[in-house]
Structure 1
Amino acid sequence: MKPKKVWKLSSILLILLFVVIGIFALFPLFAITLGSLKPSTEIMRYGLNLKLQADLLSLDNYSYLFNGETDYFIWYKNSIIITIASTLSCLLLTSMVGYGLAVYDFKLKNVVFGLVLIVMMIPVEIIMLPLYKLTMSLGLMDTLVGAFLPFVVAPIPIFFFRQYASGLPRDLLDAARVDGCTEIGIFFRVMLPLMTPAFSSMAILQALGSWNNFLWPLIVLRSSENLTLPIGLSTLLTPYGNNYDVLIAGSVMAIFPVLLLYIFFQRYFIEGMTAGGVKG
């Protein structure tokens, strides 16, 4: 068999393999979407499945969410606010820290970077109690700010931006300084556009983590009007009754913001993730 035919055959087999993997990956999404259209009794009896029974499918679960009987849209709004604020502030601050560690030489630079690596290895659960006391002393309990502020400067984005900025050409810095640009101007006008793939990658990961964050908002938030979507949906499960049908419908609606975010930034995602680990 000729090498060209072998290459075509291997390409076709590889494409078929990825199509099969993609279909299996979409099965849970299809099952949960189908389950959101079924009554609670059907879900409790048979669980999530792929059975198409037209007589059982309806939009009653979604109408229950939309008719105002729950605070679903308030929870949705709170999650969007926290996700946007957390992502934007994290990207700005951690990119500046990572850029400074990569570009500038100063005393204790390696010590600071070593501390960043150490913090990366500490589980979040260990520092929950100190963070809780700090949040309480600052008067941020049961506020949206308190739900994301302690995790704004995260070590993983700092490490990622530092690795990415280490591979940027230093000649551009010197050229900008010769033109009279300030150091802040160099970062925002010259280096920040070059770091677009890194920003896109971290935006997806940070937004996904903030959108799905459950433990810390559960500790900080109290009132129903300040709850985020994951916590609000969990309140539908009580000892007096489990609204699994509404819970699944709300979970399906919660997928869309993250899906749209990935669609808009996926063109930079792979490039940013691979380029960030080229140079250490």
Structure 2
Amino acid sequence: MNSKPASKLVSLAVFIILSVFAVFCLAPFFFLLLSSLRPGVEMIRNGISLHIDFKALNFANYRLLIDGKDGIYPIWYFNSLAITALHTLVSLFFTSMVGYALAVYDFKGKKLIFTIVLVVMMIPVEILILPLYKLAIGIHLIDTYLGVILPFVVAPTSIFFFRQYAATLPRELIDAGRIDGCSEFRIFFQIMVPLMLPAFGAMGILQAMFSWNGFVWPLIVLRSNEMLTLPIGLQSLITPYGNNYDLLFPGAVMSVIPILLVFIMNQKAFISGLTVGGVKG
């Protein structure tokens, strides 16, 4: 008889605890948004303050961000969007096929390839910077989109993830597709990919975040101001002689939007992928 009130109290306690954690997690973004609506001089004078003067809040910094500084911020934004979109799509395309092949097919050298994938996962990226830079110079990829995308497009972590996920897929569907005369590519794209949507959703978020937040490698490869990505461009606003808060804060707020949209869009992939194409026993 007392189980229902007890469960309600437990649910209420969990809700309160999670709400407190949510407030602490969202507080930095709240202050970032407020700072982007205030003059940069006020930020320098008062710092982060709980006192909010709503009369001083305006969108002048956003107009200055788009129209000022020779209109370079929209170019940085477009560069980051293009690189992130290309990197994510190409990476998901190739790594999903490689992971699927390692999980489903038996061929000579399969264990060796998988071992190499695991070994590369353990190698720090910093060790690869110098040879990759020499390779980028040799094939003329300096200051190009491809120079940023190609070296890390086939991520071993993504291959390992897809391999582990594809290993759990029902083999009966593959056999049924072969009996119906489907090619291996058709089986993968029309039968297995819908079942792998949760994996695509998860790795899509991770790969997009990796590419969008990339700093070290784009900083090395990109040279001209018009080719810079958003993280590098925002970093250029921080100088030893002073920080341009009027542009830095609204630029940081705008940089959060694409990753937030990617996460929201991939939520549907998680749900639909769990309900498509199962085997009924």
TM range (shorter): over 0.9
3-state secondary structure, aligned to 1:71: helix
Q: CA deviation at 1:204?
A: 0.7
Match of 1:48 in 2: 48
**Bigger CA drift: 223-232 or 107-116?**
107-116
**Bigger CA drift: 161-170 or 113-122?**
113-122
Match of 1:15 in 2: 15
Match of 2:146 in 1: 145
CA distance in 2, matches of 1:87, 1:42: 39
Q: CA deviation at 1:38?
A: 1.7
Q: CA deviation at 1:53?
A: 1.5
3-state secondary structure, aligned to 1:142: coil
Gaps in structure 2 of 5+ consecutive residues: 274-281
Match of 2:128 in 1: 127
Deviations 1:158-215 (CA, angstroms, capped at 9, x unpaired): 0000010000000111111111111111111111111111101111111011111111
TM-score scaled by length of structure 2: 0.92
Deviations 1:213-265 (CA, angstroms, capped at 9, x unpaired): 11110000010110101111111123344202311110001111111111111
1:43·1:245 contact (CA, 8 Å) conserved in 2?
no
CA distance in 2, matches of 1:115, 1:48: 49
Match of 1:3 in 2: 3
Moved over 6 A (4+): none
TM alignment of 1:109-188, pairs within 5 A: 109-188=110-189
CA distance in 2, matches of 1:82, 1:127: 20
Q: CA deviation at 1:41?
A: 2.1
**Bigger CA drift: 67-76 or 132-141?**
67-76
TM alignment of 1:188-199, pairs within 5 A: 188-199=189-200
Match of 2:29 in 1: 29
CA distance in 1, matches of 2:24, 2:74: 32
1:40·1:245 contact (CA, 8 Å) conserved in 2?
yes
3-state secondary structure, aligned to 2:142: coil
Q: CA deviation at 1:103?
A: 0.2
Q: CA deviation at 1:271?
A: 9.8
Match of 1:202 in 2: 203
CA distance in 2, matches of 1:112, 1:47: 53
1:82·1:148 contact (CA, 8 Å) conserved in 2?
yes
Gaps in structure 1 of 5+ consecutive residues: 273-280
1:201·1:270 contact (CA, 8 Å) conserved in 2?
no
Whichever residue aligns with residue 160 of structure 1, its letter is F
CA distance in 2, matches of 1:271, 1:157: 21
1:91·1:202 contact (CA, 8 Å) conserved in 2?
yes
Match of 2:231 in 1: 230
Q: CA deviation at 1:114?
A: 1.3
3-state secondary structure, aligned to 2:177: helix
Distance 1:270 1:204, change over 3 A: farther
CA distance in 2, matches of 1:270, 1:176: 24
Distance 1:17 1:267, change over 3 A: farther
Match of 1:277 in 2: none
2:99·2:161 contact (CA, 8 Å) conserved in 1?
yes
Match of 1:218 in 2: 219
Whichever residue aligns with residue 238 of structure 1, its letter is T
User: CA RMSD, aligned part only?
Assistant: 1.8
Q: CA deviation at 1:116?
A: 0.8
Whichever residue aligns with residue 189 of structure 2, its letter is F
3-state secondary structure, aligned to 2:120: helix
Identity of aligned residues (%): 56
In the comparison of the two structures, how many residue pairs are matched? 273
3-state secondary structure, aligned to 2:56: coil
Whichever residue aligns with residue 217 of structure 1, its letter is P
CA distance in 2, matches of 1:270, 1:109: 32
